[in-house]
Amino acid sequence: MKQSSLALALLMLTIASASAQQAQISGNVAHGKTLYQETGCYQCHGLAGQGAPRTGPRVSRTEFPFDGFVNQLRRPADQMPPYEATVLSDQDAADIYAYLRQMPPPPDASSIPLLKTAR
């Protein structure tokens, strides 16, 4: 409960500057995908950024403004290891951010044959 309240507060505090900031962020999606895999982000957040309750939140199509995203990388609120600038540069962070933002939305559950119930 405490963690979700903290995340919500952080999101609310930073969302006001998000639209102006988005125009300033320039990242390389292909390099971001490589970094996402090489730095192990997928191990907790999943290959599609879908997240899981026990390992890490969903990061695909993130709505965090870039500053909030980098702040979470550098000073994580939970069990995530910190990714200092010496380990992951601001440009690398921008590349990962660009990759996460462009991920397609998940398919509608009704479009997945295995999830359709027999009638």
Enter the pTM of the model: 0.73
Looking at the domain that runs over 2-17+27-105, which CATH code has it been given?
A: 1.10.760.10
Orientation of helix 66-74 relative to helix 90-102, angle to 10°: 120
Q: Is the predicted pLDDT of residue 23 greater than 80, yes or no?
A: no
Averaged over 50-73, what is the pLDDT?
93
CA–CA distance, 23 with 42 (Å, rounded to integer): 26
Band the pLDDT of 73: cuts 50, 70, 90. Answer: very high
Band the pLDDT of 35: cuts 50, 70, 90. Answer: very high
The whole-number pLDDT of residue 16 equals: 45
Strand partners, 52: 56
SS3 content of the chain, % helix, strand, coil (to 5): 55, 0, 45
Band the pLDDT of 5: cuts 50, 70, 90. Answer: low
